[in-house]
Amino acid sequence: MTDRNYIGSCLCGKVQFKITGEIKDIVCCHCSQCRKAQGSAYATNGNVDSDEFRFIQGEHELAAYQSTPKETKYFCKYCGSPIFSKNTLAPKNIRIRLGTLETDIIEKPIGHIFIGSKANWEDIEGKLPQYKEYEPSRK
C-alpha cells in the first residue's frame, strides 16, 4: 500500500488538517444541498476513516450546521469554506470536501450522483458513471 499524507485547509488558512489514509467512495454530488453548500454545480466528496484524519490547527475555528437530523456539516467560521461532514449512521467516517486538499491524491472519483437534481445549466462530460441518486455501491 502506498503511504498517504494529504494536507488540506480552508480558504483563509485558519483551519488546516492532515489525512494519512485512503480517501474512499469519491463522488461528484449534484444534489441541491451540495450545490448550495459549495456554491457551485456539484461537490466532490470522499470518505476518510476518522482515525486517519487530524487537525494541524484551527479545529476550534469550525462552525457546525446540522443539515439533517443525522448529518452535521463543518466549515470555517471566518472564510466559510466547507471542510467535512459527519453522519451518525457512519460514525467512523469523515466526509471530506476534496476541494480543500492542497496535495495531489492517488484516488479518483467513481461517479456522479444525484444527477436527477443537477443544475439545468450544467452539462456533465467525461466517462464517469452517472446515477440518478446514490451510487449502487453505497450501503
Q: Is residue 134 part of a domain?
A: no
DSSP string, the chain: -----EEEE-SSSSSEEEE-S--EEEEEE-SHHHHHHHTSS-EEEEEEEGGGEEEEE-GGGEEEEE-SSSEEEEEETTT--EEEEEETTSTTEEEEEGGGB-S--S----EEE-GGG--TT----SSS-B-SSS-TT--
Q: Is residue 81 part of a domain?
A: yes
**How many domains, in total, are found in the chain?**
1
Q: Is residue 25 part of a domain?
A: yes
Q: Is residue 47 part of a domain?
A: yes
Q: Is residue 123 part of a domain?
A: no
* Domain harbouring 31, CATH code: 2.170.150.70
Predicted confidence at residue 139, as pLDDT, reads 55
Predicted confidence at residue 138, as pLDDT, reads 76
Predicted confidence at residue 109, as pLDDT, reads 97
Q: Is residue 138 part of a domain?
A: no
Predicted confidence at residue 2, as pLDDT, reads 58
Query: Model's pTM, two decimal places?
Result: 0.91
Predicted confidence at residue 4, as pLDDT, reads 87
Running along the chain, 139 residues long, what does each successive block of 10 average in pLDDT? 85 98 96 92 97 98 96 97 96 97 96 95 95 85
Question: Residue 90: which domain range?
Answer: 6-117
